[in-house]
Amino acid sequence: MKPTLEQLNELSDYELNCAVAEKLGEPSDCYMRKDYCNNPNDYMPIAIEHRINIEWLKAPDAVMCTAGDYGNICRSINKESDLGRSVCIVFLLMEIDK
């Protein structure tokens, strides 16, 4: 069964880091070295490679990440301070939908 956006939003940073590392085929201890949820050096290459759009919203301290085409859109909205989490969630939804 595919995880939903709501289920992914409930995961801890640690759990998201593990899921992203697994989807990237990283070694199982990769989550110990990389912090995809909080370190721009780790999450921005994912956003760039997978064309994840980052949009800062007018709402205070909010950011939206989206990816997809022609009606198959993955979207995550979080606080601006959680930009990395949004990138990770959209990446996982993209990979799930393939």
Q: Domain tally for the chain?
A: 1
Position 56 scores a pLDDT of 79
Tokens describing residue 86:
């949004």
Q: State the residue range of the domain holding 23.
A: 5-97
Report CA torsion sign: 68, 10, 30, 62. Answer: positive
Position 27 scores a pLDDT of 75
Position 45 scores a pLDDT of 96
> Rounded to whole angstroms, how far apart are CA atoms 47 and 63?
14
pLDDT (tens digit, 9 = 90+) per residue, 39-51? 999 999 999 998 8
Position 96 scores a pLDDT of 53
pLDDT (tens digit, 9 = 90+) per residue, 8-66? 989 999 999 989 998 888 876 765 688 999 999 999 999 999 888 888 777 767 778 88
